[in-house]
Homo-oligomer: A and B are copies of this chain.
Amino acid sequence: MKVRVAINGFGTIGKRVADAVAKQPDLELVGVTKTRPNFEGRRASEKGYRLFVAGEGKPSDFEAVGLRISGTVEELLGQVDVVVDASPDQVGRENRKLYERFGIPAVFQGGEKADVAEASFNALGNYLACRGKRSLRVVSCNTTGLARAASVLLGRWGIDHWEVTLVRRAADPAESKKGPLNGIVPTFQLPSHHGPDVRTIYPDLTIATTAVVVPTTLMHVHVNHVRLRHAPRDAEEVIAAFRASPRFHVFAPWERVEGTPQVMEYARDRGIGFNDMMENVIWHDGLRLDGRDLYFFQAIHQESIVVPENIDAIRAMLDLAPNGPASVAITDRALGLGVP
């Protein structure tokens, strides 16, 4: 019997996790919630997802525009084994009591503080440690990207220390009210909060992060310098390690992918849903090894990179897979990652 899943919040993350749940062999999407009708609610309905009303939402607002409502969020929670909270930042924390009242395990997003859940989660990083928890927090898009890279480097060569500049996209593509239109805004928190957040997954990692915000909607780019503990044989060995890892996509020079515009174009060409790029993106040309010093760029699709992690978090909590790699394999096959 499949595990019954509710998605509370059907925005950028929620709609993606809903689709991802619906594709999994061992999960069943019972319903999703919205507070007010919009084009995303229309798509939920067109896809046959049952809609429930959350927050201050009124069923009549939905019905007036022809969207059928199956009940309240409470009614949805009564029908499921687990909930993924994809509500806006800080609302997840408020929802926690509700989930506790229903006695169902919950996955939270990285916009919440770490103490919203029993543990922070990354599939390649700490799956086993998260088994059986009653609540997990999938770390944010940038942190997920860093944790994945750590998972590849730590086991093979060790990390002495790591410096990252995060060049952050200012808004998601569908947000039309955020700026800056023309300019660079440094994040004055030095180092930025991303380093400590990675340590919720790898507590002993020495990592210092800084961030700037730039006028693009497409992807974040991480500029990495890692001092490894042991020197890889050569850059090709590192590239090969990234290629061999799930949730990494390496572009070869001949593919002529100059930057994030072409990465997203590839994603559109691939077409796994929403034009998503759920993997860390590495450029073969954008990696250099100098002894134990590794320099590389990685691009992070802020909208989708945590989607498979949410699926794996469910499996970890409910112990549906023996370990991280097993869960990742199921998730990625269902999502079309790593295939051809």
Partner of A221, one of B184, B262, B286: B184
Q: In the complex the two chains form, what is the Cα distance from A283 to B253 in whole Å?
A: 38
A240 sits at the interface (CB 8 A): no
Partner of A216, one of B215, B255, B256, B269: B215
Residues of A within 8 A of B (CB): 15, 37-40, 42-43, 46, 64-65, 163, 165, 167, 169-171, 173-186, 188, 190-191, 208, 210, 212-219, 221, 223, 225, 251-252, 254-262, 264-266, 268-271, 273-275, 283, 285-288, 295-297, 299, 340
Which residues of the partner chain B approach A217 to less than 8 Å between Cβ atoms?
181-182, 261
Q: Nearest Cβ distance between residue A168 and chain B, in whole angstroms? A: 9
Q: In the complex the two chains form, what is the Cα distance from A297 to B192 in whole Å?
A: 13
Partner of A271, one of B216, B256, B274, B295: B274
Which residues of the partner chain B approach A65 to less than 8 Å between Cβ atoms?
252, 254
Q: Nearest Cβ distance between residue A232 and chain B, in whole angstroms? A: 15
Q: Nearest Cβ distance between residue A192 and chain B, in whole angstroms? A: 10
B269 touches A184 (CB 8 A): no
Which residues of the partner chain B approach A177 to less than 8 Å between Cβ atoms?
178-180
Q: Nearest Cβ distance between residue A82 and chain B, in whole angstroms? A: 24
A38 touches B185 (CB 8 A): no
Which residues of the partner chain B approach A210 to less than 8 Å between Cβ atoms?
165, 223, 225, 295, 297
- Across the interface, name the chain B residue whose C-beta is closest to A46: B340
Q: In the complex the two chains form, what is the Cα distance from A91 to B277 in whole Å?
A: 33
B43 touches A270 (CB 8 A): yes
A264 touches B174 (CB 8 A): yes
Question: Which of A173, A184, A217, A273 is the most central at the interface, judged by chain B CB atoms within 10 Å of its CB?
Answer: A184
Partner of A218, one of B165, B182, B271, B286: B182
B186 touches A221 (CB 8 A): yes
A186 touches B286 (CB 8 A): yes
B167 touches A262 (CB 8 A): no
A184 touches B43 (CB 8 A): no
Partner of A181, one of B43, B182, B268: B182
- Across the interface, name the chain B residue whose C-beta is closest to A264: B173
Which residues of the partner chain B approach A259 to less than 8 Å between Cβ atoms?
176, 180, 183-186, 213
22 contacts across the A-B interface (CB closer than 8 A): A39-B251, A39-B265, A40-B265, A167-B212, A174-B261, A175-B181, A176-B181, A177-B179, A179-B181, A182-B182, A182-B217, A183-B219, A183-B264, A184-B214, A186-B259, A188-B286, A190-B286, A213-B259, A214-B214, A215-B215, A217-B261, A274-B275
Which residues of the partner chain B approach A288 to less than 8 Å between Cβ atoms?
190-191
